[in-house]
Chain A
Amino acid sequence: MAFNIYDFTTLTHDIHVGLAESFSPVLATTIEWVIVGVVYLLFVALFGLFLVYAERKVCAAFQQRLGPTRVGPWGLLQTIADFIKLLMKELIMPRKADRFLYNLAPFIVIIASFLAIAVLPFAPGLQSLDFDIGVFYLTAVSSVGVIGILLAGWSSNNKYSLIGAMRSGAQILSYELSVSLSLLTMVVFAGTMQFSAIVEGQRDAWFIFSGHIPAVIAFVVFLIAGTAETNRGPFDLAEAESELVAGFHTEYSGIKFAMFFLAEYINLFIVSAVAATVFLGGWMPLHFGNFESFNHVMDFIPPVMWFFMKVLGVIFVIMWFKWTFPRLRVDQILTLEWKYLLPINLVNILLMALVVLTKFHF
């Protein structure tokens, strides 16, 4: 097995060939499925825990305090301790809740997040689903999560939950448009919906540089709409603590609450990863035209590192939003989408089409 940190294609290929030689085709495929599933589960769980820790540290920095410091070195084990605590908590269900839907809702939310994560290219060869309609698939599955939120709000038999879920429904359905349209702008520029091809197209320059004005507009719109889609502040209306106690997950406790919590962070990761992939070159290193030596130094950093550096950068910006801005009101949030972001987006697509037609890009 040839392990190359710069290109995982050979590694995954070798594993595939090895399995195919030793087992029957059906068994080999099954084993591959299991391996991929376990790897994703582990990754999501660990990265989710890390993101919770990062969020607490980042918000502590914004709020002039230290954040977790006691459990483990620099408080690194804090989120693990919290998670164990959540696992041991009693599951309390409201007496008049709709049992089936109430239990189903957290799974829908988290499954939607898992589906979306499958198409993201982490590094060359490190991508489990490489569709030719990757972008379309991603926007489709990422909007499934809202069904889970609506079900949670409805089945809890709590007015706060219901208001939170309704807000969330209105908000995610609206911002879905902006997310899709800003991604579509970049699809127009890239000429493909396949994520690996989109990343490959940014070998010389990231799309945010080569697509200049329309790409930057699309990036800003995507960041705003993406923040809204993950239900994070300043768009955290669905779980507005000061108004709705905890919004749609008011009545959830223990591990079911943890699922909503984890899903929020996975969604944060997905939005940041898509922003990094489509606008900031994915795992592509930073290259500048003719600076050969500079480009070589940049190539030295492995693609996985590049990917996660970009993702964490975007995540930091989104966390920055949350800990700085007050929350918008529900009518203002819809006004922002339908009166500002949507028209801007439509004009932007037109602009991008013109840019592509006139070849006025780098």
Chain B
Amino acid sequence: MSEIKEVIVKTDRLATDKYQVNMGPQHPSTHGVLRLLVTLEGEKVLNVQPHTGYIHSGIEKMCEAISYPQIIHLTDRMDYLSAHMSNEAVALCVENALQIEVPDRVKYIRTIMDELTRLASHQLWWCVYGMDLGALTTFFYGLRDRELILDIFEETCGARMTVSYSTPGGLMFDIHPNFQKRVKDYIKYFKTKLPEYDQLLSGNVIMRERTEGIGYLTLEEAIDFGVTGPSGRASGFSCDVRKHQPYSAYPFVKFNEILDHRCDSLARYEVRIKEMWESISIIEQLIDNIPEGDYAVKMKGVLKLPEGEFYQRAESARGEFGVFIVSDGKKNPYRVKFRSPGFSNLFALNNMAKGHKIADLVAIMSTLDLIIPDIDR
């Protein structure tokens, strides 16, 4: 009798053995150099501990040594998929500090560029999400459409990803004469291609099974962790800076803030798909009405911000992007702090992934749309 009991105890202990797996910094699904210390029991995730810092580049510190227009070029390198939003946030912050009013033309062009960037970013997110679920074909469908947006960017400002297009006082250059036509052609084209995304992935039974009820993030948790952007809005957290603190041309356009109260992976997926439709509608409202005028305000050679603290928010493709500048009146800032959406979103991962399988951990992490240089800065 005692022998049997011992065997049972032994197997019991074997079955509940925990082990730890280092996911990353080199792992195909971490999209860069994120390291997750995952505690597993069999395939079940017990705890996820993110470790950041593998690609820390000290951008905030570097900003203290350079002038305000130069900061723009560093912000490209943080969230490289929503480079233009970061540029714009810095530009707006400096403009507000200097109390400069930019022409309407600049506002319109900035907003169109914002939304094109958001489209490109969401497209890339969509392809990568499909890949993380194991549907490899999505990758090429998404990149096919994104490529054309990057072509437009290239024609507009010479760069495909790190655009550096907005600058304090306006834009680096005026738009290319082809810009309006190309954007309109693209919108026409993409309106026929976006339903393909639904056909390929959204309606798929396996995809539904893999996302419905997975990675639950309650509204309270979302607010506690500061999860913003599409990930926060999928938990019903109304956090769209474009609505709550409109900047650039957002006050002139009509659009909906996409909210979803289902809080799971599927909600986060659908919020992004619907946001693509909203972006299309915003671009359509603006593209024909770009007013004539200057593309930039004449600025001084050396920008000096008045002494004080300045904060500007902008809605990047993955959440609220904030720029906090402390100035002591010199030509370079005293301190700069960026509030990056990825950092806050990442740390909600543990609450979302606990108790799910390791395959779901990857799928959940992917719905947060993390960009690692954005987290590490």
Interface positions of A (Cβ within 8 A of B)? 59, 62-65, 159-160, 163, 167, 233-234, 236-237, 240-243, 245, 323-332
Closest B-chain residue to A65, C-beta based? B140
Contacts of A240 in B (CB 8 A): 134, 359
Q: How far is the CB of A333 from chain B (nearest CB, A)?
A: 10
Q: List 6 A-B contacts (CB under 8 A).
A: A63-B137, A65-B140, A163-B358, A326-B201, A327-B359, A328-B206
Given A163-B358, A242-B29, A242-B362, also A326-B130 (CB < 8 A): yes
On whether the beta carbons of B140 and A64 are closer than 8 Å, the reply is: yes
Interface bracket on B: 20 to 34
Contacts of A237 in B (CB 8 A): 359
On whether the beta carbons of A332 and B209 are closer than 8 Å, the reply is: yes
Interface contacts beyond A63-B136, A64-B144: sample of 12 additional A-B pairs, CB < 8 Å, sorted by A:
A62-B137, A240-B134, A241-B28, A241-B134, A243-B29, A245-B28, A328-B210, A329-B209, A329-B359, A330-B357, A330-B359, A331-B357
* Bitwise interface map of B from 6 to 23 toward A, beta carbon under 8 Å scored 1, else 0: 000000000000010100
Closest B-chain residue to A325, C-beta based? B206
On whether the beta carbons of B358 and A243 are closer than 8 Å, the reply is: yes
- Other-chain contact of B134, A167, A327, A331 (Cβ < 8 Å): A327
Q: 3 nearest interchain CB pairs?
A: A327-B134, A326-B133, A63-B140
Closest A-chain residue to B135, C-beta based? A326
On whether the beta carbons of A159 and B360 are closer than 8 Å, the reply is: no
A65 vs B139: C-alpha distance in the bound complex, in angstroms? Answer: 12
On whether the beta carbons of B362 and A326 are closer than 8 Å, the reply is: no
A160 vs B362: C-alpha distance in the bound complex, in angstroms? Answer: 14
On whether the beta carbons of A64 and B359 are closer than 8 Å, the reply is: no
On whether the beta carbons of B137 and A327 are closer than 8 Å, the reply is: no
The answer to the question of B132 belonging to the interface, with a C-beta cut-off of 8 Å to chain A, is yes
- Other-chain contact of B141, A64, A241, A328, A329 (Cβ < 8 Å): A64
A326 vs B127: C-alpha distance in the bound complex, in angstroms? Answer: 12
* Bitwise interface map of B from 152 to 185 toward A, beta carbon under 8 Å scored 1, else 0: 0000000000000000000000000000000000
Q: How far is the CB of A100 from chain B (nearest CB, A)?
A: 24
* Bitwise interface map of B from 95 to 132 toward A, beta carbon under 8 Å scored 1, else 0: 00000000000000000000000000000000000111
On whether the beta carbons of B140 and A323 are closer than 8 Å, the reply is: no
Q: How far is the CB of B15 from chain A (nearest CB, A)?
A: 13
A332 vs B359: C-alpha distance in the bound complex, in angstroms? Answer: 11
On whether the beta carbons of B134 and A159 are closer than 8 Å, the reply is: no
Find the residue from A62, A236, A243, A332 having the highest chain B CB count within 10 A.
A243
On whether the beta carbons of A326 and B29 are closer than 8 Å, the reply is: no
The answer to the question of B207 belonging to the interface, with a C-beta cut-off of 8 Å to chain A, is yes
On whether the beta carbons of A326 and B359 are closer than 8 Å, the reply is: no
